[in-house]
A and B are shown apart, each in its own frame.
Chain A
């Protein structure tokens, strides 16, 4: 097996969704993947707790979902591509999700993005 030639320093504020995270977050991500289908989004809205139980979410994942807390979902093994489908249920855009994670208003978040192009 090839070894990395240098030590990979962690990148602040960045989470690599790797095998460890994928195992940890499997139930949460599987639930979010189900939200591709409209009937599943409706079933979730109808009875959130029952839907989380059906997919076997653990307490940490349930709390993150209950709190609509994206960073907590990531810490619980969530992958942003699937979490985006959860956010979609509430018509949240990636700016809304970005603002929440960075603790900014959406307006400030968008300004920060634009400023990086100048």
Chain B
């Protein structure tokens, strides 16, 4: 049977996508050092675990989806996923392999579980997906890992509530664990932490709230699911609402969850960065 071996979170700031190819030299740069220095333990864990599949829970920022048709929850069911020009200069990176058989199993299970997701046989993935992949699998190696993109709307309100996203994660977890193939699956929750790009409050960061989130998400995630989207925007900033993606990730982990590694840093670009590696024991 397939098994969820763990979950990772990371911020997906576009500036990181520009910096990743120069990581070695930037480890000597005072601005970037605290950020990049946090990643080797996460990569070491992935090398040890050797997952077959990564389910990547992210938000599209206007590459694949526009306001003409904007799904709340969308899932990829393609053989491959391409990155593309996002308009402001992030380098595109090589395509990702999909696992459509597992995608359709998850889709069947989710709809049966009353999560009526949009299914995508063609899907461009943007920095919300590509930056985490390039951070966890350096040099675009991806380690042979297959990917399943799960896209949650954070562009247009109403956004799905933290509780709803957590429950979606739980349903994805049930789906994976009922898949008959022996696969090791990791789940990525990308984005966050506190940040705000728009309005007179641009530049807002809330370290205290971020610390609370990083702490509680490990073993008391239910506490965080009680926030409304409005409260999340107030506490974490307009784009800090991306924390719902972390909660969806956490919902997938149903076993005994242990924190392997974590890091928090203010800031890269306008954003507080957070990294978590959580192991999910049966």
Is the beta-carbon distance between B86 and A94 smaller than 8 angstroms?
no
Interface size on B, residues (CB 8 A): 43
Interface size on A, residues (CB 8 A): 50
B164 to chain A, nearest CB (A): 12
Query: B13-41 CB contact bits vs A (8 Å, 1 = yes)?
Result: 01100000000000000000000000000
A51 at the interface (CB under 8 A from B): no
B256 at the interface (CB under 8 A from A): no
Closest residue of A by beta carbon distance from B229: A16
A64 at the interface (CB under 8 A from B): no
B207 to chain A, nearest CB (A): 6
A36 at the interface (CB under 8 A from B): yes
Is the beta-carbon distance between A102 and B266 smaller than 8 angstroms?
no
Q: Identify which of B106-114, B137-145, B181-189, B191-199 touches chain A.
A: B191-199
**What secondary structure prevails in chain B residues at the interface with A?**
loop
Query: A80-115 CB contact bits vs B (8 Å, 1 = yes)?
Result: 111111011101011101100110000001001110
Is the beta-carbon distance between B270 and A71 smaller than 8 angstroms?
no
Which B residues lie within 8 Å of A79 (CB)? 62, 67, 155-156
Which B residues lie within 8 Å of A26 (CB)? 67
Distance A11 CA – B230 CA, assembled complex (angstroms): 9
Distance A108 CA – B138 CA, assembled complex (angstroms): 33
Is the beta-carbon distance between B199 and A14 smaller than 8 angstroms?
yes
Centre residue among B62, B157, B203, B270 by max chain A CB count within 10 A: B203
Query: B198-210 CB contact bits vs A (8 Å, 1 = yes)?
Result: 1111111111000
A104 to chain B, nearest CB (A): 8
